[in-house]
Structure 1
């Protein structure tokens, strides 16, 4: 049997090992998923909601164990890992509450002698391909609405966080979900490509890199299977002249450094009006210097390792490229004993004297670092914020909501925040433009991609 190993970034030792399913196992899973779908789709919506609600309760009941598993698998400090379980509960319950509205028939104007409606019906078997950085929050965005809409789900989770898939399965199994309606497969990339190109897969939900998104598209070439792609970003923040500076600094810094910067909607570049540039830079540096980098199992750690040493080294290379081109780093890394170089432990960093010729300001960094640039006007800020091949989120920091609305209309992103950042509201659509992907999850809009419209045109008088 072929197996794979999950290496914990805490000390780069083997945390667990799992066997790969065979191609025969994948074939059986798709067969069972199709059979389960035929049963599950006919359950009343209220009954589907009830069993999923029970699964959520089972999951939340294991919060402490799940939090430690997150920490051990991908390195997030234990002080914060439990928040992911709470976040999953909130998102899942919100999507359940939105389902009756989102899935209710649309009835057009009355025509005598006819009954007409448009129903939202399930697609079939949905493949969910989930990443490691928020192993539950990213997956739940697709899993819950897919299931409640009447689809069956096959989950392929990252090899870095395989226990997340197993936890989902335990919860659904305990709640009494019919056989085959939810399954997971610890398959490799080649097996994923073959699986999603199978005619029994009706839709693919992928969260990951742009490279991964292109791989999904190649696998689906020649089929009519649709996909939703959430591919990350290079998300900017703009601090206007009238912003509450102390509030902006604290929240932007959290958006930069939380989860070691490994968030698709984390802040990676900051544009500051010249009036406040020095104060914002000093504030971000001070925040960074107050972080405690260390073993994420320690309750006092506020900045854990990145997921792999190779990921940390990629960030180091971006910083080195920027400084070789004239940028300056302002955080003294010697303050962080855990940062020994070429390890997964990477000190936080703020970089100034940047420009968009530097990869640090143009390519996804996915680490605890941000470049900061001075601007003189809204027009300059908008031009720089849009100067990116990504378009996931952008945040505006200002006391003027009308100005923010006007700026937001000009920004090429899926979400615009005012005086907050790095957050998913489950009642709003989560979507991106340009290389940040396509499609949408969450909100009532998210159900549109996991169902299809079916028209009912009945003549009632003959």
Structure 2
């Protein structure tokens, strides 16, 4: 079993001030694979102090943006050299299929890093504006300060890059807190920050449990919190930030709808829905989990989804042929099984799947890809975020009802519509309350497009120019 006994604080690898440790368990074998030093509140205090020195006194926020961009490009080059290692680590700690880890967990993170550097290169860091009263106004975009980046376990590298890289490009210093389920890839990334030559304290990496995370987001030395996680946890983070008037952006839960219009091909819809969420066993916040279909074609869509999910190869995530691996923890597996039991108990029709382990597997935190049809919008599987490979097929009678059902949720993260008529699809897209939306696709994470939600899915945006601006303040300078 690998041992990692230090934290990355102030540009150095230091022993923690407590004897706490995180045991990393393989979701496939259910056996420990590593022990990682866990930061406690005193270590978080040290990390925040190091970040404050780096921001208040160090060179990083005072560099020309072009110099910060150059450092990020250097980091991207180093990242590319270790992308296979990072993918292997993520597969081991999270059970992500190695093909998905290479393509999405790491490959998407690398391409996003370079795309964000391009956005920063073309960004107007300063703007001259004519004043109304005859005096010119100079607008400067300046870094917000010290950022706490709190990362979930499901897409750890990609979500780290979407937070840390814009913060660095803006000139901020960062305290990065990975989830206790996925500390190993964060430690590899910490070594890359060190190798890229970032000044001491500009990035600090402190794996920790949720109690220590609460200490971080409530810390008075933090200027902005960027959090991705559940809606329940997001509410707690928002309350903690409110006490200090700390800026915060929240990317939270989802219950996204795929609306199949009456001219949509069931097989094409099924293929897109499968692609949107099954790579991480449905553990993706913007996965399309409610499939809204015309009542007259409900059986066709349910059969197509059943066939698509039944064909998924569920097996050892280290096998390149595997398409879906286990859930991340036993707790998550049990949670998803309870939702499947609730769907059966409330009267939904089980098309494929269920609570038994997939064929050929006698251990690991696996759940079979599951499709329910004849789902009423009031059923539990239609309303609550399951965060597993479970789809609810919900019939509707006309397009207006489809939009109403899509909007009848506390969430508003993503969604999609499928139709042979793009103009009709855009009309539906305009009516659904969601921060991100796809037409004839599951929403694609394009680094040029801002990503985020509305309602209980949070607020603030990541990616695109808007993601960079989330780490900037605007200073107005009037000139006589």
- Would the TM-score normalized by the shorter structure come out above 0.5? yes
Distance 2:76 2:420 in 1: 39
Alignment of 1:187-266 (within 5 A): 187-266=208-287
Aligned length in residues: 458
Structure 2 residue aligned with 1:32: 50
- What's the CA shift for 1:316? 1.3
Alignment of 1:362-381 (within 5 A): 362-381=383-402
SS in 1 for 2:147: strand
Structure 2 residue aligned with 1:437: 458
8 Å Cα contact 1:285/1:331 also seen in 2: yes
- Worse overlay, 250-259 or 111-120: 111-120
User: TM-score, normalized by length of structure 2?
Assistant: 0.91
From 184, 187, 190, the equivalent of 1:169 is 190
Q: Does 1:302 align with 2:323?
A: yes
Q: Classify 1:85/1:6 alpha carbon distance in 2 versus 1 (closer, same or farther; 3 Å).
A: same
Q: Does 1:457 align with 2:475?
A: no
Q: Does 1:281 align with 2:281?
A: no
8 Å Cα contact 1:339/1:346 also seen in 2: no
- What's the CA shift for 1:110? 6.7
Structure 2 residue aligned with 1:9: 27
Structure 1 residue aligned with 2:358: 336
Q: Does 1:81 align with 2:98?
A: no
Q: C-alpha offsets along residues 286-342 of structure 1, whole Å, 9 cap, x if unaligned? A: 11111111111122211100111221221111111111121111115579314659x
Structure 1 residue aligned with 2:38: 20
Distance 1:99 1:190 in 2: 35
8 Å Cα contact 2:130/2:136 also seen in 1: no
Q: C-alpha offsets along residues 53-82 of structure 1, whole Å, 9 cap, x if unaligned? A: 111111111111111111111101112211
8 Å Cα contact 2:96/2:326 also seen in 1: yes
Q: C-alpha offsets along residues 82-124 of structure 1, whole Å, 9 cap, x if unaligned? A: 1122101111111111114444223223779744221111011
Instruction: In structure 1, list runs of 5 or more residues that go unmatched.
Output: none
- Worse overlay, 344-353 or 237-246: 237-246
SS in 1 for 2:437: strand
From 332, 335, 341, the equivalent of 1:314 is 335
- Worse overlay, 212-221 or 73-82: 212-221
From 389, 393, 397, the equivalent of 2:410 is 389
From 40, 59, 69, the equivalent of 2:79 is 59
8 Å Cα contact 1:208/1:230 also seen in 2: yes
Structure 1 residue aligned with 2:420: 399
Alignment of 1:351-362 (within 5 A): 351-362=372-383
Q: Classify 1:257/1:26 alpha carbon distance in 2 versus 1 (closer, same or farther; 3 Å).
A: closer
Distance 1:339 1:388 in 2: 36
Distance 2:330 2:40 in 1: 30
Q: Does 1:136 align with 2:154?
A: no
8 Å Cα contact 2:259/2:417 also seen in 1: yes
Instruction: In structure 2, list runs of 5 or more residues that go unmatched.
Output: 1-18
- What's the CA shift for 1:164? 2.3
8 Å Cα contact 1:126/1:146 also seen in 2: yes
User: TM-score, normalized by length of structure 1?
Assistant: 0.95
- What's the CA shift for 1:441? 0.9
Structure 2 residue aligned with 1:447: 468
Backbone CA RMSD of aligned residues: 1.9
Q: C-alpha offsets along residues 119-165 of structure 1, whole Å, 9 cap, x if unaligned? A: 11101110000011111111111111000000011100001110222
